[in-house]
Copies of this chain bind each other. A is one copy, B any other.
């Protein structure tokens, strides 16, 4: 699911639904986010030919205070619900836990879902929209979008073959308008751990995809690996860079938010994997774990990155 701005971007054709006014028929931006996620989840169940009542676990979270976007989206779904908070890393966190629930033998079918909405996020994290506040070049644009994945024990693939769960990494960045710089060290930490743990190098993957480092953060990530003598090359992409025409859509440093990596993974990349454009994809969604309160109290921004290996061939 996406909003108007996402529908004007280069990935338009991979969305199942685009709300032209980003309201999704709801009266407030918070309700719009829940309506979007509810529609997203229903669409995912429908495309999987699965009655929502057959889903055994839902793993979901979002950026809103008390993760209310997810709680209100899922209050009618009837499935056992695990609420998560991983900031913009939620798509990878939910995929990780859903895959663990199946692989561990606790269920056969689980859902992983998340959302963000520009208008609900902006007024919660920054300023009221009406204020028209100017944004610095390092600022990212919270994606109005949602993604949901149904995981099944006997699914058609792609398969979650590995997960690497992130540790909280704090690089000392205090600028809420430069999330890319705050999150890049977390991505570096998790990807490095993944390569060490699995014995795989970046060349194993057709695509290595970070969540929303954006223009600033993805350049930093390349530099961090280059300092180790590792060139990530063209296989490395960032959802925050892909979702908008950065220049013409005035997206500053690119997209961000849970819905950024969720909609780009579920739309663009899973379509591409189904078509064989990529067979081995490492999805590394990043999240900044501060709150406006901690930021106002002078705290730096803790960040996290969870990596999920998606492969068309079962290991």
> A166 contacts B93, CB within 8 Å?
no
Provide the main secondary structure of the chain A interface: mixed
Contacts of A81 in B (CB 8 A): 165-168, 304
Contact of A289 among B83, B103, B168 (CB under 8 A): B83
Is A294 within 8 A of B167, CB to CB? no
Please pick, from B27, B78, B85, B297, the residue contacting A30 in the complex, using a CB distance under 8 A.
B297
0/1 interface trace, chain A 56-93, chain B, CB 8 Å (1 if under): 01000101111110011011111111111111000001
Are A302 and B71 within 8 A (Cβ)?
yes
A206-259 contacts to B, CB under 8 A, are: none
A98-128, CB under 8 A of B: which get 1 and which 0? Answer: 0011011110000000000000000010000
Asked if A175 is an interface residue, CB under 8 A from chain B, the answer is: no
Q: Mark A297-309, 1 if CB is under 8 A from B, else 0.
A: 1010010100000
For residue A293, CB closer than 8 A to chain B, the reply is: yes
Query: For the complex formed by this chain, how many copies does it contain in all?
Result: 2
Q: Does any Cβ of B come within 8 Å of A262's Cβ?
A: no
Asked whether A291 is an interface residue with its Cβ less than 8 Å from the other chain, the reply is: yes
Within 8 Å by CB of A85, from B66, B72, B80, B291, lies B66
Complex: A166 Cα to B64 Cα, angstroms: 21
User: A65 touching B167 by the CB < 8 A rule?
Assistant: no
CA distance A168 to B34 in the complex (A): 14
- Cβ of A85 and Cβ of B83 under 8 Å apart? yes
Give 5 A-B pairs besides A57-B165, A67-B85, A84-B85 with Cβ atoms closer than 8 angstroms: A31-B299, A65-B66, A68-B291, A83-B87, A83-B289
